[in-house]
Chain A
Amino acid sequence: MSINKQNVRNFCIVAHIDHGKSTLADRLMEKTGQVSERDMEEQLLDSMDLEKERGITIKLTPVRMFYKAKNGEEYIFNLIDTPGHVDFTYEVSRSLKACEGAILIVDATQGVQAQTLANAYLAIDNDLEIMPVINKMDLASARPDEVAEEVEEILGVEAKTAPRISAKTGLNVEDVLEQIIEKIPAPKGDEKAPLKALIFDSYYDNFKGVICFVRIMDGEVKIGTRIKTFMSDKQFDVTEVGVFSPKMQPKDSLVAGEVGYIAASIKSIEDTAVGDTITDALNPAKEALPGYKKALPMVFSGVFPLDGSKYNDLKDALLKLKLNDAALSIEPDNSAALGFGFRCGFLGLLHMDVIQERIEREFDLEIITTAPSVSYKVYKTDGTELVIENPTHLPPVTEIDYMEEPIIKASILTPPEFVGPIMELCQYKRGIYKDLVYLDKSRVELKYILPLNEIIYDFFDSLKSRTKGYASFDYEVTGYQRSDLVKMDMLLNGDICDALSIIVHKDKAYERGRQIAEKLKEVIPRQMFEIPIQAAVGGKIIARETVKAFRKDVLAKCYGGDVTRKKKLLEKQKEGKKKMRSIGTVEIPSEAFISILKTDNDR
C-alpha cells in the first residue's frame, strides 16, 4: 500500500517535567477522534502504573492519528512520545531521529526550564523543526508574552505565533493541529531504495517475540521480508507489521516515512538495540543510519533478596525486566553480608529507582539494595586497566597506580538569588565552575563540571532544598577524570561489612565516614552487647560511633494469662529479626544499606 508522504507528519512532544506533555498528547488524540472522550483514560500514553504515579514517561508509545484539516485534506499524524528524564537522553535522541519536528511545550507560568532547554537543544541537534506551544493558559499566573519572548531569546526559536493553549481545558488545541501541518515538514525518503528502519524502542511480547518500534526512513517492509540489523548478524523473517492507534493494528506493509512496528519472532531484545538500523537481508542498505550508541549503565547498585531463598525469584524478575530494557545490566554478585544477589547497572538514579520499585511491585519481592556507585577506571601498577563497578572488587591500594572517575557536565537553571547557595553546593560536591549565563532577568544558567559520584548521593535533594524547589537540573556524562579516590570500609563490631563499602574522594572520606557511622548508629537497633561502628580507610580508623547494649528486653510480668501474649510478642520480634542481616555477631536491618545514602550533607 502506498501512502501520500505529503500528508504525513511525524513529530514528538518535548517539555520540562510537568509542563503538560502527556495532557497535550491526550488532548490531540481526543480531538482527532483516536480515543473517545468517554473511554479516555487519563494520560493514555503513560500506561505503566509507575509512570502514572510519578508523572513521567519511561517507555515510549507512538500513536497514529488521522486529522481532517481545515484545508479539507486528511493527514496522518504520528506522535512519538519521549521519556522526559535525563537518564534517558539517548532514548530521547533516537525518538527524535524518527521525527521531522518537535512540539516544544513551555509552561506559561514557569517559562523555560532546564529540561526545556536540554530537550530543545537535543531536537535542534537532530535537525528537527521546533514548534513552540505555550501551555497552561488557564492559570491566572500565566504570562504568555514574557514566556514567548523567553523562548525566542533563549532558544532562538520564533514564538510569536506559538499557540497559547490549555491542554487541560482544551483551549486552542485545534491551533496546534493546524500548525503541525503548517510548520512541521512532511517526511522524505525513497520507497524504492533498500530498507532502512530506525529502531527507536522495542519491547518483548510473550507471543510475538520482540516488537520493534520503527521509523521507516527508506524502502518498504512487509510480512515475509527477511530482515537483519547492522549491529547483529542474525536474520529474521517478519511475521507482522503495523501501526499504533494507539493499540497495535496490523497492516500489510510499512513504507518510507511511516512510523509503526515490526515483529519477527525475535527472541532477545539485545538483537534490536535502540538506535540500530533494520534493513532487508536480501537487499541491504549500504550503511546504517548514523548515531547508534550502545546504552551504557552509569550507576550501579547491589540488589539482593531480603529472603535469601528467593534468589531464583529475583533472578527471574530481573531477567524479565531485562527483556524490555536493554540498558539494564545484570551480573551475579555475592556479598558476605547479604548473600547471593546481583550487581545491576542503570542509566541513572531514576532508572535505578524505577527498576527497584518494579521488582517489589510487579514481582512482589522484597529486596535489599546497596548504596549506588559509579564505574571507576583503575590503572594498576602492572600496567593493566580495570573497570570497577563494585567497591569490594577494588584491588589492594599497593596495586593501584591511579584511578579515574566519571564526570558530568551539569546545567542548572535558577532564579539569580539562589546562585550563591548553588555554587556553594557545587563547590562542596567537588564541582568545577565553568560558566554563568543570564538567560533573562529572572533566570541564570550555571554550568559546572562535577564528578558523577557526588551527584548520585543527595545532590537533587540538596539542590531542591537550597533553592526552595526553583532550580532545575540537567546533566550529561562527558568522560573520565583522574581523581584521588579511596575505598572506605565500615566495620561493625570489628567485622568489615562488604555491602557498606564505598569509594570516596580522599578529602571527603573523613566526613562521609563520620556521617555514615552516625547514620548506622541511628538505624542499628541496640543488641545484647555494645557495637562499635567504625569507618576505615586502608586499615586506619577514621570515625567511630557506638551502639550501646540494650538494658531491658523482657516482659515484666508473665503469669497464667500472659503466656499467649508473650509468645505472640516474641513471634513478632522473630519476624522482625528475619528482616535483619547478620554481619558477624551484629544484626542490622535491611534499610541500613540504603540509609547511608541519606546522610544530610547540609548539616
Chain B
Amino acid sequence: MAGLYIHVPFCKQKCTYCDFASFPKEIGKVESYFACLYREIEGRSKQYKDTVIDTVYIGGGTPSVVESKFIMGALRQVRKCFKVKDDAEITIELNPGTVDEGKIKDYKSVGINRFSIGLQTGFDDQLKRLNRIHTAKDFLLCTNLLKGENISADILIGLHDQTAAQVEKTIDLAIAGGVSHLSVYALTPEVGTPIYTDYLNGELLSEDETADIYEHVVKYLKGKGFNRYEVSNFALDGAYSRHNMNYWKRGEYIGVGVSASSFMENRRFTNTFKIDEYINAVIYNKSPEISSDMIEGDDAKFEFIMLALRTADGLDTAEYNKIFNEDFDNEYSESLRKKAQFLERNGDKIKIKDQYLYVQNDIILEFMK
C-alpha cells in the first residue's frame, strides 16, 4: 500500500513566501505537462507493480488553476494504472480565487473527497501583502460550494504585525466555512523569496512572538474540538489527513510530476524542479529524477524516529522493534535517559510531551547516531 502525490506546478501568481515549484508564466505548457504526467504515472505503475494506492494528494502550485479536465484525466490515469482502494482518501488543494461550481462538480465526479483550501489569513490587507489572489470572502464562497464535504484549510502564523486575536478570527472564519481539519504553519522565510527581505529587516514576528501565537492556537483549537495530531496539524475526531499520516509513519509513497518526491522500496528520490527538463525527460523515456538515495541502517532508523515524534501519538516502540529487529529501549537507553524530562511514555508508545512539541529538534537530535 502506498500514497500517491501529484504535483501541479502552475499558479496565477507567486505568493511572497512561496518557494515551491510553481511557475505562473509557464501556464502555456499545461497540456504537454499533463501528457507527461500521465506517462509518468504509467511508468511508475510498471516500476512498482501491484502497488495499491490508499491515498492520493493533488498539490501544487495551485491545482485548481488548471482546467478540471486535466485533474480528471490524471485521476482516471491513476485508476487505470494502479489499483486504488475503494475508500481511498483523495485530496486536492484549492485556491479560493480559482474555483467555481463546475470545477467542484468535476472533482467530485472522479472521486475527490477531500478539499484543502489555502486560506492563510482572514484579513484582506494581509492577503494582499502576501500577494495572494483572493479575499477572505472568496474563502467563504469556496466553502459554500463544498457544503458537506471534507474540508481543510491552511493558515499562516508569524506574519507582519500579526496578533493572536487576528489568528483567532482567521480560525473562526475557517470553522464558519465548515472545515474539519486545519494546518497552522509558522511562516518560514526561505532565501530567494520576497518575504525573506522582510524577514531580514525584522518586519516579521520574532520566533518568540510566533511561538506565543502558536501556543494560543493550540489552546484555542482544543476548545473548538480540534486536536493537534501533528506539530502543525489539527483535526476534529477522525478527520486527520491519512495521506500525511503515511509520511509520518514512514510509509511508502510515489510522487509524480515536477519536484515530486517518492519513497519506495527504501529509496528516496526526487524529480527535477524544472518543467522543461521534466517534459524532455519523460518524452525521451529518461528518468526525471535528479536525486536518489537508498536509506538503510541508522539513517532509516533515525527517519522513523524523527517522523514519528512529530505526531501527538508519538513513536510505537513495538512497531520499531518489529521493523528494525531491535529493542528500542535498549538501543536508545542513553538518549531516553538524557531527554526523559521532555518525553512521555504510555505502554509501547513514546511521545514528546505536548508543551515541547514545538521545540523538538533538540530532542530528536539526541537520537541521531
Contact = CB atoms under 8 A, between A and B. Distances in A.
Given A551-B211, A563-B263, A566-B306, A558 B359 contact: no
A553 B361 contact: yes
Contacts of A571: 368
A552 B359 contact: yes
Given A527-B362, A553-B358, A553-B359, A558 B342 contact: no
A551 B365 contact: no
Interface stretch (B97-105, B120-128, B253-261): B253-261
Interface residues of B, number: 46
Interface string A538-568: 0000000000111111111111110110110
Contacts, number: 94
Contacts of B302: 567
Contacts of A553: 358-362
Contact of B293 (A549, A551, A552, A564): A564
A570 interface: yes
Given A570-B361, A574-B368, A560 B185 contact: no
Interface in A74-127: none
B252 to A, nearest CB: 10
B83 interface: no
B306 A570 contact: yes
A561 B260 CA distance: 7
Nearest to A585: B338
Nearest to A551: B211
A10 B359 CA distance: 70
Interface in B328-367: 342, 356-365
A552 B365 contact: no
B208 interface: yes
B188 interface: yes
B268 A570 contact: no
B34 interface: no
B307 A558 contact: yes
Contacts of B5: 560
A557 B232 contact: yes
A30 to B, nearest CB: 53
B358 A561 contact: no
A552 B186 contact: yes
A206 interface: no
Contact of B365 (A549, A558, A560, A577): A577
B196 interface: no
A578 to B, nearest CB: 11
B358 A554 contact: yes
Nearest to B342: A528
Contacts of A573: 361, 365
A567 B255 CA distance: 19
A528 B260 CA distance: 34
Interface in B225-280: 231-232, 244, 247-248, 253, 255, 259-263, 268, 270
Contact of B255 (A560, A566, A574): A560
A552 B214 contact: yes
A527 B310 CA distance: 19
A552 B259 CA distance: 28
Contacts of A574: 365, 368
Contacts of B360: 553-554
B247 A560 contact: yes
B303 A570 contact: no
B268 A564 contact: yes
11 contacts: A527-B362, A528-B342, A528-B356, A549-B359, A550-B359, A551-B211, A551-B358, A554-B359, A561-B261, A563-B303, A573-B365
Interface of A: 527-528, 548-561, 563-564, 566-567, 570-571, 573-574, 577
- Cβ-closest 6 pairs across A and B: A551-B211, A561-B261, A553-B359, A553-B361, A556-B186, A552-B211
